[in-house]
Amino acid sequence: VPPILGTEGLGTWSWDPASGCLPGTLPRPSLRAEPGSVITLGRPGALWCQGTLEAQECRLYRERIPEPWDRQMPLEPRNKVKFSIPLMAEVYARRYRCVCLSAAGWSEPSDTLELGCQVRVTQGAYSKPSLSALPSPVVTSGGNVTLQCRSQLGFHRFILTEEGAPWAARTQSSEPRPSAQSQALFPVGPVTPSRRWAFQCYGSYRENPSVWSEPSDAAPGGCNFDSFPGTLPKPSIWADPGPLVAVGSPVTLWCQGSLQAEVYHMYTESGRHPWETRPQQDSRHKASFSVIKSMSSHDTGQYCCVYWTSLGHSQPSDPLTLVVTGMFPAPSLSAQPSPVVASGENVSLSCGSDEAGTAHLLKEGGAGPLHSLEARYSHGAGLWQATFLLGPVDSTQRGIYRCYRGDTNKTRVWSLPSDPLQLEVSGEGPSPVSSVLMVSGVLSPAPEDHTLENLIRMGVAGLVLLGLGLLLAEAWYSQRRTRAAGRR
């Protein structure tokens, strides 16, 4: 008879409560979900229970229900059992454990697996949240990091899942934020190099907690190595001509380390092993990885690099994010009330598009997106718009701005850039007389400056006065000569 299991977590796990048997002593099996711990509504899936010994039978239990939810005989090899889910529905979104019977007796129960039901939407009440690492996704071995799951929607709780560890799903109640936003913070660590450390998060509502949102984009724990993290100083990484790459264009990744570097390795966020390896070039303590000949959405993501010397290898570089642009039509960018704003005042930059998505605002010369916002539909304008408030402005906000529309599901896939918008800040420092305002591709004359015109007028008046003075002087001199001649 399988054992009784007491209270744990949010519910009570029971195993034939009338038996009163002690828990099993054999090694516990593992329980995993296929294709993952979150299955899309209406899609097929399965739960696999796998033990260490040949099993005669395995049972699947669901929290709050004392009887086995399902019993199955093992498949080949005879140490694992499949519990099928024909079509995913909300009724299957629960916490599960399994136990197996072998010739030696019952096993201990498996770790808990929380199975989520995912709604197939990209906008609306179940849009995906965002996941970021604080203070950085690059963590040294033994260190800790906080993962921030955040949404523009008012989710009541967030669920954090770890790749390769579905039993490690964690739930946090959301913290209220301004403007109906919500977020939850998940401490993670200490981080070790023996695990992948890649996470996703989901949002759900109190009234229907078993239905989860679309998953966030994965937040990787920096680069992953099979060996222990290095102790040498980390190299720098950059993209030439830049991290925003037009679709079909080439891009070169550069990694620069120390003079003693012998070999450079480039890693992607999705792999443990080097994506590319290059020797140091011409004693310039750097190496180029010009392997992206034609940029596409498959090449987007985070990259980082390390270098090797005779003393070992370095710490990983800071991550570099590659984004492909030109995948959709360009949005529009406008300034309200005007692209000319007085110092200390506020100005709004509005990025509009015919399609939903995330708007990214960039300033020319900046290192990355200045702001990113989910667009909302404006019935008055008939567009999806994201409005960025800048202010109180000063001379540092002066410059050329562009915006892009990003895909909601693939955050590193962007549109063509909007036409440039030049923002002028008056009242601070000199401004060129011949400046032009460029708003959404339309050239407009700069505000009128009458200084030169006034100078010309003053110059003309001065010449006229000088001419009159010369005429009067000539007349006076002629009169004196006439009188002198008469006296003779």
> Do 109 and 34 fall within a single domain?
yes
Top mean pLDDT of 202-216, 314-328, 421-435 is at 314-328
Same domain, 108 and 24: yes
Do residues 421 and 438 lie in contact, with contact meaning Cβ atoms separated by under 8 Å? yes
pLDDT, average across residues 229-242: 83
- The domain that contains 427 carries what CATH number? 2.60.40.10
Q: Average of pLDDT values for 316-324?
A: 88
Tell me the residue length of the chain: 488
pLDDT at 17: 33
Residues 47, 52, 55, CA angle at the centre, nearest 5°?
A: 70
Residue 265 pairs in a beta bridge with 277, 306
pLDDT (tens digit per residue) in 68-109: 889 998 877 778 899 998 888 878 888 899 998 888 888 889
Look at residue 230 and tell me if it is in a domain.
Answer: no
Q: 427 and 386 in one domain? A: yes
> Does residue 314 surpass a pLDDT of 90?
no
> Residues 429-454: what's their mean pLDDT?
36
| Domain final residue pick, 290, 306, 325 | 325
Phi and psi dihedrals of 250, rounded to 5?
A: -85, 160
Q: Which range scores top for mean pLDDT: 223-232, 379-388, 405-414, 420-429? A: 379-388
154 in the same domain as 134: yes
Bigger pLDDT: 161 or 291?
161
Same domain, 101 and 15: yes
Q: What is the pLDDT at residue 419?
A: 96
Distance CA 272, CA 264 (A): 15
Residue 50 to residue 32: CA distance in whole angstroms = 9
What secondary structure letter does DSSP report for 298? G
pLDDT at 352 (0 to 100): 95
Tell me if 198 is assigned to some domain: yes
Out of 87, 118, 149, a domain closes at: 118
**Is 24's pLDDT higher than 70?**
no
| Rounded Cα–Cα distance for residues 263 and 253 (Å) | 15
Same domain, 314 and 338: no
Residue 397 lies in a domain: yes
pLDDT of residue 9: 32
Q: Is 399 within the bounds of a domain?
A: yes
Is residue 3's pLDDT more than 70? no
Q: Write the CB contacts of 438 (distance below 8 Å, at least 6 apart in sequence).
A: 400, 419, 420, 421, 422, 444
Q: Is residue 226 part of a domain?
A: no
Claim to verify: residue 110 and residue 211 sit in the same structural domain:
no
Q: Is the pLDDT of residue 446 over 80?
A: no
Averaged confidence pLDDT in the chain: 76
Tell me the β-bridge partners of 81: 49
Res 399: pLDDT: 92
How far, in Å, CA of 400 to CA of 334, rounded?
12
| Domain boundary, last residue among 273, 299, 325 | 325
User: Do 337 and 439 belong to one domain?
Assistant: yes
Same-domain status, 170 and 87: no
Range with the poorest average pLDDT among 101-110, 181-190, 195-204: 195-204
What domain range is 215 assigned to?
Answer: 130-220
As for how many domains the chain has, the answer is 4
For residue 185, is it within any domain? Answer: yes
| In-domain check, residue 451 | no
Do 16 and 109 lie in a common domain?
Answer: yes
216 and 149 Cβ atoms separated by less than 8 Å = yes
Task: Indicate the range of 18-27, 42-51, 346-355, 360-369 predicted with least confidence.
Answer: 18-27
269-306 pLDDT, tens digit per residue, is 655 556 677 776 655 567 777 668 889 888 888 888 88
Question: Which tokens in the block code for residue 432?
Answer: 């060129």
User: Residue 272 — φ and ψ, nearest 5°?
Assistant: -85, -30
> What pLDDT is stored for residue 460 in this prediction?
63
Same-domain status, 193 and 289? no
207 plus 243 within the same structural domain: no
In a domain, residue 40? The reply is yes
- CA–CA separation, 218 and 130 (whole Å): 9
